């Protein structure tokens, strides 16, 4: 029970940090990349794709396009399928 509560608290903290980071600099693609990583880890793949798309709109590179920067951070089926 403690681990689940702790993990949920960390995810809420991360979501708050992403929100603040976007307010500070909405043109920083890495924020959206890592938001996609966290969302993917939560199996919120539709929202993760939106975050990766936002990153790609800001910075048109392959890491933004396919979430490649997420491979070393989180290994999920979505992440593995979005990287080549």
pLDDT single digits (tens) 2-60: 666 777 788 888 888 998 998 999 999 999 998 998 888 888 899 999 998 899 889 88
Question: Which pTM does this prediction carry?
Answer: 0.64
How far does Cα 84 stand from its chain's mean position? 18
Tokens of 63: 């890491």
Q: Give the count of domains, the chain.
A: 1
Tell me, what's the pLDDT at 23? 93
> 55: helix, coil or strand?
helix
CATH code for the domain of 26: 1.25.40
Q: What is the mean pLDDT of residues 50-75?
A: 67
Query: What range defines the domain where residue 60 resides?
Result: 2-82
What separation in angstroms does the CA of 78 have from each of 13, 82, 84? 23, 6, 12
């Amino acid at each position: 029970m403690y681990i689940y509560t702790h993990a949920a608290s960390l995810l809420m903290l991360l979501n708050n940090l992403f929100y603040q980071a976007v307010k500070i600099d909405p043109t920083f693609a890495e924020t959206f990349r890592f938001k996609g990583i966290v969302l993917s880890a939560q199996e919120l793949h539709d929202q993760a794709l939106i975050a990766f798309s936002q990153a790609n709109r800001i910075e048109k590179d392959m890491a933004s396009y396919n979430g490649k920067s997420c491979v070393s951070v989180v290994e999920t089926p979505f992440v593995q399928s979005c990287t080549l």
